[in-house]
Amino acid sequence: MADRLYIFDTTLRDGEQVPGCQLNTIEKIQVAQALENLGVDVIEAGFPVSSPGDFNSVVEISKAVTWPTICALTRAVENDIKVAAEALRYAKHRRIHTGIGTSPSHIKYKFNSTQEEIIERAVAAVKYAKKYVEDIEFYCEDAGRTDNEYLARVVEAVIKAGATVVNIPDTTGYCLPSEYGEKIKFLMENVKGVHTAILSTHCHNDLGMATANTISGVINGARQVEVTINGIGERAGNTALEEVAMIFKSHKELGIDTNINTKQIYPVSRMVSSLMNMPVQANKAIVGRNAFAHSSGIHQDGVLKNRESYEIIDPKDVGIDDNIIALTARSGRAALKHRLNILGVDLAQEKLDSVYEEFLKLADRKKDINDDDVLMLAGKDRTASQRIKLEYLQVTSGVGLQSVASVALTIAGEKFEAASSGNGPVDAAIKAVKQIIHRQMTIQEFLIQAINKGSDDMGKVHMQVEHNGANYYGFAANTDIIAASVEAYIDAINKFIK
């Protein structure tokens, strides 16, 4: 019989640490419920002591989710642990994830400490956490660069103190797959009491080896994997949940089973990408736009004769419906609702009606409405309650012409107008907005992306605006990229003018 592998999802903690990916509590609950449907075993819901927002999200996710264990991160610090236990009070199954750095550089530079003292602090943290919660996971931060003999001593000590799971993070994504596998094997063979706990992988992708390292860890005895949807996370990201789930589903000879309902993979991937404004690279394994697209003539011919010639996964197994009905200006509400459901979005009738109105307007301008457009429309009223709104925008620009923009904004219902010239249409429009909003603010980052092919496509704009020493993130999507740029700018301003 196959061994059970526990899936620990950290999209809402490690994934959410990415600048610009922050979600509000309602959005986090949406993701947590989608993860529950997907069949994950553990949801790491946040780091409660880090902010009131994180604390509140852990509380609300604990109430909203039934089956998965809800986990909260802490440092090996009593107050962190106490606050985490409080945030978890409504969880039906709860876990505290505490830990400390164990590598020479963490011990020396981060803690100015010694190996013995770190073991004492680790044991004390587990014992303290055990007063509140039975299920305690301990992380040995930077285990990837920690000497195996010393790591084994830490793991043995925390298991003896009551840890139920021990996490072996390759925090910097440094290990080779063989090296990481050896590390897990060493612990499985040398730690007294290792079979009374579960060893967990937690691999970062700095050298593109996160998934390979995770698989190597499991082959050598780890029975929990820490992963995120679409592999999002600090720097180059974490191990992608969808890759691990499909590797073990495809390679039955490895004898590992997960509880993942793989048909939910694509809808959850789209939901996370859309809510976090984090595009999935086109060639991303399993969930990228091109993952099942065959472009060369030879491949197309082979796939048409027999799909298995070039496909090792049936797209339907990951929730990609090939027979999706094309959405055009002639599609009805039912078709739109069907596509939204496939994408994991369920709207009440009134909201569906308003999204449908917007859909028809877009379909008049754009012949092929794709999944990103639909998700964008469904999320469009995220700005409905904003204080500052773009009322109208008119620009004149062209080769040999000075760019000029006229802008009207409503601020708390009152209309303000301004006009400006500039070094291009976006510059002119932004300067006009600045004439209305008298604040010191500078654009730090400005990224324009087309979602798909075609000159009629939606443009997505991500912007970071600095104000009073803090950065604020703005996002907008529009078929008119100048309008999207101004809307993203206003979205960022709305974050600091309440």
Partner whose binding site includes residue 183, from Zn ion, ligand KIV, none (CB under 5 to 8 Å by kind): none
- Half-sphere exposure of residue 22, counting CA atoms within 13 Å on the CB side? 12
Query: Rounded to the nearest 10 degrees, how much is the dihedral formed by the CA atoms of 332, 338, 344, 347?
Result: 50
285 contact partners, CB below 8 Å, separation of at least 6:
240, 242, 243, 246, 291
- State the nearest-atom distance from the C-beta of 99 to ligand KIV, in Å: 6
Extract the tokens encoding 50. 């880090």
- State the nearest-atom distance from the C-beta of 483 to ligand KIV, in Å: 39
- Half-sphere exposure of residue 42, counting CA atoms within 13 Å on the CB side? 25
Partner whose binding site includes residue 205, from Zn ion, ligand KIV, none (CB under 5 to 8 Å by kind): none
Contact yes or no for 155/191 (Cβ under 8 A): yes
User: 439-446 contacts: CB < 8 A, separation 24 or more?
Assistant: 439/467, 439/493, 439/496, 439/497, 440/467, 440/468, 441/465, 441/466, 441/467, 441/493, 442/466, 443/489, 444/471, 446/485
Give CA–CA dist 329/354, Å, rounded. Answer: 15
Q: Residues in the site for Zn ion, rule: CB under 5 A?
A: 14
- State the nearest-atom distance from the C-beta of 169 to ligand KIV, in Å: 3
User: Given the complex with ligand KIV, which of 47 and 356 has the nearer CB atom?
Assistant: 47
| 3-class DSSP assignment, residue 419 | strand
Partner whose binding site includes residue 270, from Zn ion, ligand KIV, none (CB under 5 to 8 Å by kind): none
Strands 414-422 and 403-411: antiparallel
CB-closest chain residue to Zn ion: 14
Strands 459-467 and 224-227: unpaired
- State the nearest-atom distance from the C-beta of 78 to ligand KIV, in Å: 18
Partner whose binding site includes residue 248, from ligand KIV, Zn ion, none (CB under 5 to 8 Å by kind): none
User: Given the complex with ligand KIV, which of 70 and 375 has the nearer CB atom?
Assistant: 70
Query: Rounded to the nearest 10 degrees, how much is the dihedral formed by the CA atoms of 62, 67, 72, 78?
Result: 90
- Half-sphere exposure of residue 343, counting CA atoms within 13 Å on the CB side? 25
State whether the Cα torsion 427-429-430-435 is positive or negative: positive
User: Given the complex with ligand KIV, which of 208 and 424 has the nearer CB atom?
Assistant: 208
Partner whose binding site includes residue 359, from ligand KIV, Zn ion, none (CB under 5 to 8 Å by kind): none
Whose structure tokens read 């989608």? 34
- State the nearest-atom distance from the C-beta of 235 to Zn ion, in Å: 9
User: Given the complex with ligand KIV, which of 204 and 460 has the nearer CB atom?
Assistant: 204
469 contact partners, CB below 8 Å, separation of at least 6:
none
User: Given the complex with ligand KIV, which of 228 and 420 has the nearer CB atom?
Assistant: 228
- State the nearest-atom distance from the C-beta of 139 to ligand KIV, in Å: 4
Give CA–CA dist 39/264, Å, rounded. Answer: 9
Contact yes or no for 210/231 (Cβ under 8 A): yes
- State the nearest-atom distance from the C-beta of 108 to Zn ion, in Å: 21
User: Given the complex with ligand KIV, which of 75 and 270 has the nearer CB atom?
Assistant: 75
User: Given the complex with Zn ion, which of 200 and 370 has the nearer CB atom?
Assistant: 200
Contact yes or no for 461/477 (Cβ under 8 A): yes
User: Given the complex with ligand KIV, which of 60 and 141 has the nearer CB atom?
Assistant: 141
Partner whose binding site includes residue 139, from Zn ion, ligand KIV, none (CB under 5 to 8 Å by kind): ligand KIV
User: Given the complex with ligand KIV, which of 103 and 464 has the nearer CB atom?
Assistant: 103
User: Given the complex with Zn ion, which of 14 and 373 has the nearer CB atom?
Assistant: 14
Q: Residues in the site for ligand KIV, rule: CB under 6 A?
A: 14, 139, 141, 167, 169, 171, 202, 204
- State the nearest-atom distance from the C-beta of 170 to Zn ion, in Å: 9
Give CA–CA dist 43/317, Å, rounded. Answer: 23
Partner whose binding site includes residue 141, from ligand KIV, Zn ion, none (CB under 5 to 8 Å by kind): ligand KIV
- State the nearest-atom distance from the C-beta of 229 to Zn ion, in Å: 15
Give CA–CA dist 447/19, Å, rounded. Answer: 14
- State the nearest-atom distance from the C-beta of 394 to ligand KIV, in Å: 48
Partner whose binding site includes residue 94, from ligand KIV, Zn ion, none (CB under 5 to 8 Å by kind): none
